[in-house]
Amino acid sequence: MVIRLSERWPEVSSNRLLSECVPPPRFADVRFTTYRPDPDEPSQAEALAVLSERADVLARPRQAPSLWSRLRGRAPASVGRPGIYLDGGFGVGKTHLLASLWHEAAGPKMYCTFVELTNLVGALGLRAAVEELSSYRMICIDEFELDDPGDTMLISRLLGQLVAAGVALAATSNTLPDKLGEGRFQAVDFLREIQALAAHFDVRRIDGPDYRHRGLPVAPEPWRGEQVEAAAAERTNASCDHFVDLHRHLAELHPSKYGALLDGVDTVAMTDIRQLTDENVALRLVVLADRMYDRNLPLLAGGVPLDQLFSADMLKGGYRKKYLRALSRLIALANSGMARASVSEGSDRRK
């Protein structure tokens, strides 16, 4: 029986949201010893050494901050600044190092993307999130980015209170912390919040070939709707939804539930995929693509080719990096889905 994601209404407890804040499966086994710095890029070996040293500190039992530290919002002196911030392009190993740091640190600890963190705070509320996370030894935040003024103020307040409670931070991004938000809103209006965020971190630049310069993978030729439906019906635990039904349904769910929406699904199928021009719809699809990618779910796609999912104007705008990441991930999942297709499925692809 084919699953309809657009008919699912998952309920997610705060305990589940927190328990799922771990490195995704593709980074479950990475360690500092498996990181291979490029000998032509000395900043990679330097970052490895810095993170390894930080991990030695974070592996020790947590020291409660003194009253003076709490009043001043400072972490214990043995850690230096409360956060380490890895800046660099795609494909230079930032996430590998961040996940390795998480594996080495003592618990309780948390690993999430920036989007997952904002969704978590949105689901729990700021006060409850601070109460839950203040006891953590460290929080690792991948793909740190600020998309709007609300996120800027929310995360600034959250991290400020967590630092005051003695929580160590680690983050990755391809934007320096004092440049977060550029191109998306008038960052100057929120300079105080941005500067407060930047003050929490020691910045460590990691150089290397930028993944964006390699171009997107080739999008597979999309199928006709009936072919997608037939292929989904032949697979175990496959979902199949009309693209419009799915993105309308996503608008009615909190993004923190998108992972649970995929529970028990082994393949995702979408018919009549259309080019997007609405930023709100597009950003929800980005979150769903991330959750699919974390779970390595093959995609069967019908409609416009995936490399046409976002309009040209959107790919030039402030969310460009998000959209390019989503395209790369969706195309990879679609190529995986097509590779698993039977010969009979492939013979009827749309011309």
Q: Residues 46-79: pLDDT tens digits?
A: 999 999 999 998 988 666 555 555 555 554 444 4
Q: Which residue in 283, 344, 243 sits closest to 148, CA to CA?
A: 283
| pTM summary value | 0.78
Is 317 or 271 the better-scoring residue by pLDDT?
A: 271
CATH architecture for segment(s) 31-210: 3-Layer(aba) Sandwich (3.40)
Provide the β-strand partners of residue 310: 276
Is 320 or 184 the better-scoring residue by pLDDT?
A: 320
**pLDDT score recorded for residue 347:** 43
Is 240 within 8 Å of 2 (Cβ atoms)? yes
**pLDDT score recorded for residue 288:** 97
Domain 215-347 fold: Rossmann fold (3.40.50)
Q: Which residue in 274, 334, 342, 336 sits closest to 309, CA to CA?
A: 274
Instruction: Report the C-alpha gap between 64 and 289 in whole angstroms.
Output: 39
Question: 350 pLDDT band (50/70/90 cuts)?
Answer: very low
Instruction: Report the C-alpha gap between 336 and 271 in whole angstroms.
Output: 17
DSSP state of 253: S
The token duo for 164 is 């005051």
**pLDDT tens string 282-308:** 999 999 999 999 899 999 999 999 999
Chain-wide mean pLDDT for the chain? Answer: 84
**pLDDT tens string 228-273:** 999 999 999 999 999 999 999 999 999 999 999 999 999 999 999 9
pLDDT higher than threshold 60 for residue 179: no
The highest-confidence range among 16-20, 98-102, 150-154, by mean pLDDT, is 98-102
Is 197 or 275 the better-scoring residue by pLDDT?
A: 275
Instruction: Report the C-alpha gap between 168 and 153 in whole angstroms.
Output: 20
**pLDDT tens string 26-44:** 899 999 999 999 898 999 9
Looking at the chain, which residues constitute the CATH 3.40.50.300 domain(s)?
31-210
**Residue 223, φ and ψ in degrees, nearest 5:** -95, 165
Is 43 within 8 Å of 206 (Cβ atoms)? yes
pLDDT higher than threshold 90 for residue 114: no
